[in-house]
Structure 1
């Protein structure tokens, strides 16, 4: 062991046994906090997701000309102490901020924003009713206390209306809500609104006020909740704001913010402080009576000797325990790392963890460019070589390790011009990392939707090239590999675009290998709703035909510029149904993306739309193979006949009842509630 390590361990143990004075900073942590920001800067805050900063004002959601789904957050960089373990006391706090919520057009609405306190600083939840607070596929993962300002009525969340304030604890189903309209406040009016939130730990009460005036807090709170938050406030909490939309365009802006906490005032024994006066106002004096100083010193020396005789053996036992623990941890880590490395003998380069951490600025949230099926993707700058790469960081879970190994073992042996190229991997510090070529134009879904101001970059030739490229690589996976590769998660978010807008298929975390002469086996359904074939939802068997269905949906997205499932008014519209409806009326060409301004080959567009419907046929037997799809696109084979009326199938089996039970976005659910019912695919 190195001398410095020994000194650190001994110093730490001395502190534990009380030979050192308490660290002054621990005392400072209990002091009140007073933060005030008339405007925002990146010096003090971190932006996540679609949030942006302009002229000192925070925009939580993306400003687009067309409806889209968006989620963003801004978090104060330093954690705030809000709970004291020694006194088991939570701090009271108050906050004031001004915000505005504006609809881009009268038909656009939802979902709202929230002020939150969270024990972590790097997690952004899903869009829609999740308000950027929770992950739609892992509803119990994120922990938080939040006050929501909700502008959408969602019956599944027990919302009273589309203009309310609510207290949320670890869930976006509010503990209690208050009606803003009753107090004359229209949250989505676009006007500047000031909110005051106060929590009194001694009274176990939280109040929220709203006003169009930023100078005077109203007398009557819009929401008053009797609640004890001490179980939810950790020693240190991160503070921030989040907002989201789902299939709509709503602008959420935060103009200024002030936050105050009031420290911890633990109860003192009455004998020590009979008048309940704080130490800061009274100087205490200790008087010794009837004990000579020399006798007192002797007794003190005896106590020290007794303490040393007891603490000495305990001290050395503790040293041995710590050293043994460190040794075992290192041995287990090395053994685990070696076991992983035996899997990677035939794989590309092994990267150094320190190199990847430096290239991603310590995996900073500002470097996040997306989320794969098993973790987060970061943009990495390698200063030594001047190159850029994408680094995927696994979740710390058994599923994360499984998907990491699946992706690495599958993609390391694949070579195709329309696949994202794997550069290497790293297993260090308990992290599982994959390094890929960086795609400068990002994912296809961002070009089509989230960054709609750039969607005009995808002209007709780009879109046709994307359809051909993806068909080529999926055909390669199905027919040209030694073992068939079933991707199981083909969607626009997993199709990346290089500098010339050539498509590259990525994210093999859910992929399955299958011998060419073997039948598929049933598995837990995984993937993304809107891309899942009906028979896959029913039987859980992933085949080439389920990938073909997903490809068909992607083709329709590329041609139409619409999401697989979109909200129109109070109902959800399925893209396949919508295009098939136009086809049945002889108006299929009207499905073409309006942003193309008619600049496309009409016959080519018609063929692409019909091909998408052929691939998304509810009857898997009627879907073409990917080889046939590629031949049709290259004018080497005639197109398939598409019936005017969408075929209908009827299944009668035990089916999951909710979308969350049917589909896991890159995660397998281990339990699901079953019920006998009938589902009809029209």
Structure 2
């Protein structure tokens, strides 16, 4: 009989669920959201988009022309159509954006506001505005207002400064020139835009202004019926793209609301029944014995009924409490660690990876295996990192999750989502078609050969993201495992730093203490090997080794040709430098096709970063300035300093947390001696 209460509960729950489902479907509700300043709590960032200081960036912020696309989508779906009342809602949105440029004259391509049934909308760079896939022009469905800054004859653009209404194609059904009303999209000024669609009038209007006051006259007015395009679940968002330009697309604030639905009526309404619809049954007198029997039955039911109800209530309460605890724990995990990326279901990821089949394996790491995932419905390709089932693996998973979910930079591998089901810990990243730097650099990936401009751009990109991690985050991030295999290359061979499983968050005025030295030999700073203390200077050392790899095409530690002797890359480059033959360290596969001054600069920066004395290493901000020609080259000693550690002094906790960056005098643990 144990199954009876549970069955009753199931039936009761189904009944309640059914009743409330009817109520929920009875009438759609109007929706409103207001982002005065953006956070990751309610947004999904795709492609090259990022969040910085409450402002959304849609394309890469880079000083050299590049190709980029990004989109930002609100996680809350919008219901525009009510099937019960057959009403399509109207909508109104207001947002402020700016289009600026690092290099004058390098404009293109623009941004869009869009509505789409796909919450993964991300298109190609260039004239596709991050909205349309260049290889599948009809893949993405959308209604969009474009703010175009480049004349693209392929899409019948009227000029290089126009707005347009797009429906499922970038060939606008109507365009307008905002300059006629004094609005220049490329001015760099903050432009406030209002977009209103009234379904009863079948009209969409767009207003634009440099102030917060809505003008009387719209820039664009289009007679159009959007009801057929706004059925089902719809998502609102922004997209932008560049191609061979340095244009920046920023969204500062955003409000959105729908209107036109009737208010939701109370779910319970009494029915009016007329007297003549009721059938009256005549009463038949009962015998005394029957009456007594009925009284006994009534008394029995009177006692058993409440008792049974109490048992049901206790069982229901116990199950509810158990479920509530699980949900509370789950919600706590989600709210504390992730507020932006999407939560995937295990079934969804298992299907996308063909049951985590070996043919889908992209690589193996210290804390998990990476699989290629193809989502059949959208055609989107992602990389899924599957953590091992060990305590250490879960710890590293949570470390990576909590860190990377809060970080946004164009040179970071973008976290798309996560899953924690069935004892599995899974992270979903954007797919990097060109794989890791080490495979490309050492020609393990066919068909890709790194030219000098690409190599220099890789050094510049990683310097930029490390500067962000070390000095621009609210909490400083020490990566601790910077190496060529943790640097991924996107489709445009731009670098993306990943694998935060060993990273640690620290306050800017404190040094992290590690009880276990972690990382990869050849990239580890000498003081880190000795004391297990990770600082931003240990990351700088690893970065120095990586850019020497990029310039020389040699691994950090490798065997000499025709010899069993192991050669350290830093020692080898420094020996050439001491003999005045620094540029001979250049990768022979470049065939001399490189800028000699840039090669010399990169090698000197690499040696400076890999200096055994951590106090002599530059900060990543300084490195970035040098590579951008904003600062002088570092002074590198002709002879590599050697590091001698003392074993005579005890290693106390105070000694471990000694901050070598803040010390101007030599550390008591070691002395620097010339070779």
Larger Rg: 2
Q: TM-score range by the shorter chain?
A: 0.3 to 0.5
Per the normalisation by structure 2, the TM-score is 0.47
Per the normalisation by structure 1, the TM-score is 0.47
